[in-house]
Chain A
Amino acid sequence: MSHLLEVDNLKKHFPVHGGLFNRKTADFRAVDGVSFDLQEGKTLGLVGESGSGKTTVGKCILRLMEPSAGQILYDGADITHLKQRDLRRLRSEIQMIYQAPAASLNGRMTVGQIIGEPLWIHESLKGDAARDRVLELMNVVGLKEEHYYRYPHEFSGGQQQRIGIARALAVQPRLIVLDEPTSALDVSVQAQILNLLQDLQDQFDLTYLFISHDLGVVRYMCDEVALLYLGKIVEVAATEVIFESPKHPYTQALISAIPEPDPDTQREEIILRGELSSSQSPLTRRGGFRGGDGGCPFAPRCHAEKLAQCETVPPPLLEVERAHQVACHLHPQLDKA
């Protein structure tokens, strides 16, 4: 039992209002039964296109959003229904780093205040003691002492992300949810931040839940990868396994679509039909790409040869090989003889 985080059948449904008197007419199922485990000290990548529900999963784990159903175990304890008072303690254990560094930092606070605020809230540190800790943190993430009294807008995107990382580290968390931490950055800066994150993980024994749409970055950062499609996990396995022998047709298409910076990589490109339905189309069925409620959510875009049950039976997430789970009718469960 070395799982730091266990997520079991997590669901988050948003009500959709419409019709007469704006009644609730439907549920938008952003996250629809997601389960995974995360071992201490490891990095799990949560990958999906926009609208697949990956950020919602991250927010539910921090209880920044209330899950509709399911269970989240942190260090063996159920945190799904924690009260506000206990949540505060939880949040010194789990922290989040956001995508848009500029938007996630308060523009009216100096860097020192931003990084010092969690210290005050969680540890009642203030004055010189807080200042020393802040400077230490700034040093850890590669900011200079003279940045203490500057404001976020004076920094470049990469530097701003360093501030966000220092703020997350301030309370000495064990688990950090990284929500697309580098997608707003240029590649050369992205490389710096990714390396920093790896150094910090080694230094402080951190566990990462790494949310990203960039498979290249995920391959570099993660030990394990879970792929989300329309709120459901379609495949989970160790990173090498996912990239070497992807099983689910969606994973195959996604990997074939990564543009490798190497013109000699001769790879058969699988071009998917249609698009992930937007937040509206699963309700209006306009695009028609959500699939029937009964079937596999990916069926309408699937390029593989379809079976009869693809349209009617939702495929369960099964272990098709050791430590390799796939939700696809084409891949039967591993015989556990």
Chain B
Amino acid sequence: MTDLLNIDDLHLEFHTYDGVAKVLAGVNLTMRRGDVLGLVGETGCGKSMTALAVPRLIPMPPGLITAGRVTFNGEDILSKSESEMEAFRARHVGMIFQDPVTNLNPLFTIREQLVDAVLYQQAQGKKVPGRWRGFRPSVRQLRKDAHARAVELMRLTGIPDGDKRIYDYPHQFSGGMRQRVLIAMALAGDPDLLIADEPTTALDVTIQAQILRLIRSLVAQLGLTVLLITHNLGVVARSCERVAVMYAGRVIEESPVRELFRNPKHPYTRGLIAAVPQKDVARGGLEGIPGMIPNLINAPSGCRFHPRCEYVMEACRTRVPPAIDVGAGHSASCFLYPEDA
């Protein structure tokens, strides 16, 4: 049992005026320490919600977890109290988001924001000292150490002249540099798990390449475990070892990267790969997936992909396909494959 993260049959609902949206309908996901797992899917498939459920950042209400377990390092996360969660987030999980502009406060310098992050993570990360804590460093000393740590983090994330640029405001940084600042902030508490939610979507390709390389080098240097959420299959192919494909609130296929692209099993995964314009696709040869993503308030019964699937069978309409092992660490939730092979 060396699983770092285990999400087991997670169900999440949102209560809206139109009805109950079943956003996650039984998500299963396992991550080992040191894994780089790509979570892929289209808009609204629940990939961000799955990731936010780990540090329990989903607003409740309107959200409601109706079933399932999330365990991190063997600890049950869903039963923790809010103050325990705060310490948990500070110590174990770092997150970066898609939009580096809105996640930095424009009124404060990078120094103020980064030092704050470091101090907070330290305060949360330490065991709360008892009454007799003996020597306690002065606030000034703490801030000085935090400053040094902040500069160190900026160096680690490849920001040139960190010791000078730390006094700059966010608007003085370019998009790629802001994303680096956010990565530095996420690393402040020395987390076990880095959740990167579409970290390169807002960036240009050359900058995307820089950021992906940075993430890979951090994995190698710090032994991070990374959950990389993206809609871009190319990004996954380049930076992950394993991939989980989500569709309408479920993981429908999971596999090592190479195996997934060589040998996609689920019809949705095949459609998704065929929809990306690649090198040898002739004019008119691109295939989209017919139809569109289902409404989760009135989600299709059985396999949620069945209305768009060309191989649809009777069983697909009534039963939810379980994850079926198709060999080589590869599983697909589809009745096309024999259930107990």
B279 interfacial by beta-carbon distance below 8 Å:
yes
Across the interface, do A262 and B278 meet the contact criterion of CB distance under 8 Å?
A: yes
Across the interface, do B172 and A286 meet the contact criterion of CB distance under 8 Å?
A: yes
Query: Please, how many angstroms separate the alpha-carbon atoms of A281 and B173 in the complex?
Result: 10
Interface string of B291-328 (1 = CB under 8 A from A): 01100000000000000000000000000000000000
Across the interface, do B288 and A260 meet the contact criterion of CB distance under 8 Å?
A: no
CB contact between A192 and one of B232, B258, B278, B288 (< 8 Å): that residue:
B288
Q: How far, in Å, is B199 (CB) from chain A's closest CB?
A: 13
A69 interfacial by beta-carbon distance below 8 Å:
no
Stretch among A6-14, A84-92, A250-258 lining the B interface: A250-258
Q: How far, in Å, is A157 (CB) from chain B's closest CB?
A: 8
Query: Please, how many angstroms separate the alpha-carbon atoms of A278 and B170 in the complex?
Result: 13
A37 interfacial by beta-carbon distance below 8 Å:
no
Query: Please, how many angstroms separate the alpha-carbon atoms of A268 and B256 in the complex?
Result: 22
A-B contacts counted at CB < 8 A amount to 129
Query: Please, how many angstroms separate the alpha-carbon atoms of A156 and B286 in the complex?
Result: 21
Stretch among A59-67, A98-106, A214-222 lining the B interface: A214-222
Question: Which size bracket describes the interface of B in this complex?
Answer: 35 or more
User: Which residues of B lie under 8 Å from residue A156 when comparing CB positions?
Assistant: 292-293
Interface string of A20-63 (1 = CB under 8 A from B): 00000000000000000000000000000110000000000000
Interface string of A254-297 (1 = CB under 8 A from B): 10111111111100010110011110010000110000000000
Query: Please, how many angstroms separate the alpha-carbon atoms of A278 and B174 in the complex?
Result: 7
Measured CB to CB, the nearest residue on chain B to A287 is B174
Stretch among A71-79, A181-189, A323-331 lining the B interface: A181-189
User: Which residues of A lie under 8 Å from residue B212 when comparing CB positions?
Assistant: 259
Across the interface, do A259 and B235 meet the contact criterion of CB distance under 8 Å?
A: yes
Q: How far, in Å, is A234 (CB) from chain B's closest CB?
A: 13
User: Which residues of A lie under 8 Å from residue B236 when comparing CB positions?
Assistant: 261
A121 interfacial by beta-carbon distance below 8 Å:
no
User: Which residues of B lie under 8 Å from residue A286 when comparing CB positions?
Assistant: 172
B67 interfacial by beta-carbon distance below 8 Å:
no
Measured CB to CB, the nearest residue on chain A to B256 is A263
Measured CB to CB, the nearest residue on chain A to B268 is A188
Across the interface, do A262 and B261 meet the contact criterion of CB distance under 8 Å?
A: yes
Across the interface, do A49 and B277 meet the contact criterion of CB distance under 8 Å?
A: no
Query: Please, how many angstroms separate the alpha-carbon atoms of A157 and B42 in the complex?
Result: 12
Query: Please, how many angstroms separate the alpha-carbon atoms of A269 and B234 in the complex?
Result: 14
User: Which residues of B lie under 8 Å from residue A253 when comparing CB positions?
Assistant: 206
User: Which residues of B lie under 8 Å from residue A269 when comparing CB positions?
Assistant: 209, 213
A194 interfacial by beta-carbon distance below 8 Å:
yes
Across the interface, do A275 and B174 meet the contact criterion of CB distance under 8 Å?
A: yes
A309 interfacial by beta-carbon distance below 8 Å:
no
B233 interfacial by beta-carbon distance below 8 Å:
yes
| Interface secondary structure of B, over-half rule | helix
B49 interfacial by beta-carbon distance below 8 Å:
no
Once A187-B231, A189-B292, A259-B237 are accepted as A-B contacts, the answer to whether A254 and B284 lie under 8 Å apart by CB is no
Once A186-B42, A195-B288, A272-B210 are accepted as A-B contacts, the answer to whether A260 and B278 lie under 8 Å apart by CB is yes
Once A189-B292, A275-B175 are accepted as A-B contacts, the answer to whether A194 and B237 lie under 8 Å apart by CB is no
Measured CB to CB, the nearest residue on chain A to B214 is A271
A190 interfacial by beta-carbon distance below 8 Å:
yes
A213 interfacial by beta-carbon distance below 8 Å:
yes
Q: How far, in Å, is B191 (CB) from chain A's closest CB?
A: 25
Across the interface, do B288 and A188 meet the contact criterion of CB distance under 8 Å?
A: yes
Once A158-B292, A192-B288, A263-B257 are accepted as A-B contacts, the answer to whether A272 and B206 lie under 8 Å apart by CB is yes
Query: Please, how many angstroms separate the alpha-carbon atoms of A257 and B235 in the complex?
Result: 10
Query: Please, how many angstroms separate the alpha-carbon atoms of A189 and B287 in the complex?
Result: 10
Once A213-B205, A275-B174 are accepted as A-B contacts, the answer to whether A261 and B292 lie under 8 Å apart by CB is no
A16 interfacial by beta-carbon distance below 8 Å:
no
User: Which residues of B lie under 8 Å from residue A277 when comparing CB positions?
Assistant: 174
Across the interface, do B210 and A271 meet the contact criterion of CB distance under 8 Å?
A: yes
Across the interface, do A216 and B288 meet the contact criterion of CB distance under 8 Å?
A: no
User: Which residues of B lie under 8 Å from residue A260 when comparing CB positions?
Assistant: 234, 237-238, 278-279
A333 interfacial by beta-carbon distance below 8 Å:
no
Query: Please, how many angstroms separate the alpha-carbon atoms of A50 and B307 in the complex?
Result: 38
Q: Which of A212-246 contact B (CB under 8 A)?
A: 213, 215-217, 219-221, 243
Measured CB to CB, the nearest residue on chain B to A52 is B204
CB contact between B209 and one of A186, A192, A257 (< 8 Å): that residue:
A257
User: Which residues of A lie under 8 Å from residue B286 when comparing CB positions?
Assistant: 191, 194-195, 220
Across the interface, do B261 and A263 meet the contact criterion of CB distance under 8 Å?
A: yes
A68 interfacial by beta-carbon distance below 8 Å:
no
Query: Please, how many angstroms separate the alpha-carbon atoms of A250 and B203 in the complex?
Result: 17
Measured CB to CB, the nearest residue on chain B to A199 is B284
Query: Please, how many angstroms separate the alpha-carbon atoms of A276 and B42 in the complex?
Result: 29
A198 interfacial by beta-carbon distance below 8 Å:
yes
Once A187-B275, A261-B273, A263-B258 are accepted as A-B contacts, the answer to whether A195 and B204 lie under 8 Å apart by CB is no
Q: How far, in Å, is B321 (CB) from chain A's closest CB?
A: 20
Once A188-B275, A259-B232 are accepted as A-B contacts, the answer to whether A271 and B213 lie under 8 Å apart by CB is yes
Q: How far, in Å, is A313 (CB) from chain B's closest CB?
A: 24
Instruction: Pick 27 A–B contacts, CB within 8 A, sort by A.
Output: A49-B204, A188-B271, A188-B272, A191-B276, A191-B288, A198-B284, A213-B204, A216-B278, A220-B283, A243-B279, A254-B205, A256-B209, A257-B206, A259-B205, A259-B232, A259-B234, A260-B238, A261-B234, A261-B237, A261-B261, A261-B276, A262-B278, A263-B258, A269-B213, A271-B213, A272-B210, A276-B204
Closest 10 CB pairs of A and B: A259-B234, A191-B288, A220-B277, A261-B233, A192-B288, A49-B204, A191-B275, A188-B289, A257-B209, A186-B42
A253-B206, A261-B234, A275-B204 known; 7 new pairs, CB 8 Å cut-off, are A186-B43, A198-B283, A254-B205, A265-B237, A271-B209, A276-B204, A276-B206
